[in-house]
Amino acid sequence: MNDITAQPRSPEGRQLGANGSSDPTLSALAQDERRESPLTHYLQILVRRRWFIVATVLLAITVAVYINATTIRLYRSTGSIEIARETARVIDADDGSAKPAFFSQEFYQTQYGLLKSRALAELVVRKLNLTNNQTFMYGYSGRDPEQRSRALGADQRRSLERAAAGILMANLTIEPTRSSSLVSISFDSPDPELSARIVNTLSESFIEQNLARRFAASSYARKYLEDRIAQTRARLEESERKIVDYARSQRIINLDAPSQREGGGTTASPSLVGSELGALSTALNTAKAERIAAEARYNQARQSGPLAAAEGLSDNTITALRGSRAQLMGEYSKLLARFEPEYPAAQALKRQIDEIDRQLRAQGGNVLASLRSNYEAAAAREAQLQTQVDGLKEGVLDLRSRSIQYNIYQRDADTNRSLYDALLQRYKEIGVAGGVGTNNVSIVDVALPARGPIKPRTTMNLLLATMLGLFLGAALAFIVEQLDQSIMAPDDLEWKLGIPLLGSIPRLPDSENLLDALEDRRTPLAESYLSLFTALRFTTSHGAPRVIFMTSSRAAEGKSTSSVALARNFAQLGKKVLLIDADMRDPSIHHMLKLANSGGLTNVLAGAEDLQRYIQPGPHEKMAVMTAGPIPPNPAELLAGPNLPLAFETLLKTFDHIVIDGPPVLGLADAPLIANYAEATVFVIASKQTRTKVVRVSLRRLADVNARIVGAVLTKFDAKTSGYSYAYSYEYGDRRGRQGKSLASRILRG
């Protein structure tokens, strides 16, 4: 046994070297493998805990079904109204109600509040007589209506109406349409016809209330204007009376009625003196202008000569004389070209020309005299008018001093008259607008009875329940997975314990016999134990260990089954193998193999010299069995004696391998004593039964005695229920075998 090369392991399951240092290679590989596919790990958890998820989903669906069955069915009817931004007017008149400067969000929020107001709800309750509607009053609670007295007092009726209004408001929904003036009105009730009636009545009542508010506002405005008009009329009459009395006392005579002044008011009528002064002032201005023009024409004629003046140029006589002179000058020039000036014909022409010149000078003097006469006449008229104007100015100034108070009375009368006219016009406009009844709210769509209930939403509730159940079930699965410290699958074993996996053994159904299952080499159980045997062949440098100790944390984890199967594999390969039942407290090998247990390991440890006497033939010709023998009072004392290593040395001379079915580790000293002498210790762990903490404590106890733990075997493993899927299934060969047998049978039958 000095050729044992299997390295010991730490209590935490890490492989230790010769010097006792930690070698984290296997643990790191296991953790890296764990990190390679976290999604796969999570899916495996969900599959492994699928019954938690299924149960949670079924519970959630049951709750949803109960809710759907017990919830009162409500039907929703929806109508729509339009709250226009501007009032639709039949005439261009105002009704006196307050208008916002612009229709802001505040205005619309006010309208929504009015739609949900208690006053409107009570109006609808009274119109539809909802207090006597059993479906409306008691349909929401699902209970039968209580008998109540028919004769109710005013307070009781009022309380009942308030309760009905509260029910209506609780089930009423107002939803404005974004970026529009449309508003949807919805109501839920157990009766679809009732829902439609309530929505339509609510819309009509809202319009009626809106009109009533406007009519009330116009009525108040008319009453207010009537009082103001009466007061203004009295003030206007008083002010006009003062004007007439003052004009009579001061002798102020106005020619015409008061004239309209720009901007609304009136001006006082002109007086007689003022009118005369105005006319003379106009005539004076005209005379002054004429005098200035006549003076200018006279001065120009004097300076440039009457013949060169405008009047001289436009005078017909002067024009004719100038034409005759020009003609005579032409003839005179022709004669001078041929004759001397003393020529008689030339002298006759010269005398005619001189006569025309004399006539021109005489006519020019007449023109200048006419201009001077006109100038003097204009100056005389101007002086006369100026004298008259100066005479009237004193009278006008005196009249103005007496008209100051008159104008004060006149302005007061004008103000009262303007105010009176404006109030009277406003009163007429409000009267016409109030009679027409303007409104900015209209019904767009009337509510129709609903075809189906809106509550309960059966399909949605079931869908939400399923989704919630899946979510809660998955969360519960992860929580249970975190709380579950058992070894579930092969990668759990390597990740949680850090020891190598030698093999995973599928669960053997209770109806199958172990030996029969091992006999058929194509069964999953036989294939898995053959894989375990193959793994053991690589645990030492010289092949499979000669002394293999099979143990576990607790009883019933499959170590006896694994020991029998491993011994059979050795025997089937032609190796002489001895199976020893070392569990002297609860032996089971003789029951499994149906052997006698009159003597065995107990006798050998007690000092028996003939070991062959206690060896029995096994189910295979190369396999022998040593049962536990009689149960001793204290098996630990026998194991601690010197006979155990001596027995191993003697038996190894006859057998190639010894497989020891040992007792469990926890609570007993037997397993550590045997593991100290075994070349290799194989730790058996039952899937889903053994907790990680228990295994770690067991491994630590074995490590304390320098047990050579070569790996672990996961027994009772069910890949389907554990949620793990591997590339190779032990049933692969079995399927091929069954297919081959089926094909052979068909060939034989054919």
pLDDT over 90 for what percent of the chain?
17
User: Quick check: 183 pLDDT over 50?
Assistant: yes
Backbone angles phi and psi of 184, in degrees to 5: -95, 135
Cα radius of gyration (the chain):
67
DSSP, res 582: -
pLDDT at 269: 54
Q: How many angstroms separate the CA atoms of 266 and 254, rounded?
A: 14
pLDDT tens column, 332-382: 787 777 777 787 877 887 888 888 878 777 777 777 777 778 777 878 887
pLDDT tens for each residue of 205-255:
888 888 777 777 666 677 777 788 888 888 888 888 877 887 777 767 665
- The count of residues in the chain is 750
Query: Over 80: is that where the pLDDT of 257 sits?
Result: no
So what's the pLDDT on residue 262?
46
Please state, in angstroms and rounded to a whole number, the distance separating the CA atoms of residues 359 and 739: 164
Nearest C-alpha neighbor of 626 from the set 675, 569, 579, 559? 579
Q: Residue 691: left if φ>0, alpha if ψ -120 to 50, beta else—which one?
A: beta
Span 455-497, pLDDT tens digits: 878 888 889 989 998 999 888 888 887 777 777 777 777 777 8
- 534-575 per-position pLDDT tens digit: 889 888 888 899 999 999 988 888 889 899 999 999 998 899
What integer is the mean pLDDT of 656-680?
91
* Cβ-based neighbours of 383, under 8 Å, separated by 6 or more: none
* pLDDT tens per residue across span 420-450: 888 787 777 766 555 445 577 888 889 899 8
Residue identified by tokens 């190796």 is 575
pLDDT band at 196 (very low <50, low <70, confident <90, very high): very high
Whether 640 shows a pLDDT value over 80: the answer reads yes
Closest residue by Cα to residue 255 from 272, 242, 232, 237: 272
Check residue 14 and give its pLDDT.
Answer: 40
Contacting residues for 54 by C-beta, under 8 A, at least 6 apart: 473
Among residues 713, 723, 659, 661, the alpha carbon closest in space to that of 686 is found at 713
What share of the chain in percent tops pLDDT 70?
78
User: Chain-wide mean pLDDT for the chain?
Assistant: 77
Rounded to an integer, what is the distance from CA 582 to the centroid of its chain?
Answer: 72
Closest-CA residue to 486 (of 429, 381, 418, 557) = 557
Write the DSSP string, 256-325. Answer: SPPEEPTTS-EEPPPBHHHHHHHHHHHHHHHHHHHHHHHHHHHHHHHHH-TTTSHHHHH-HHHHHHHHHH
Give the C-alpha separation, 627 to 591, whole Å.
10
Q: Which residue has the tokens 């643990």?
A: 27
Contacts of 699 (CB under 8 A, 6+ apart): 9, 11, 12, 13, 497, 499, 683, 709
CA distance 305 to 314: 14
Tokens for 259? 């004239």
Contact indicator for 686, 488 with CB cutoff of 8 Å: no
**Would you state the pLDDT for residue 741?**
42
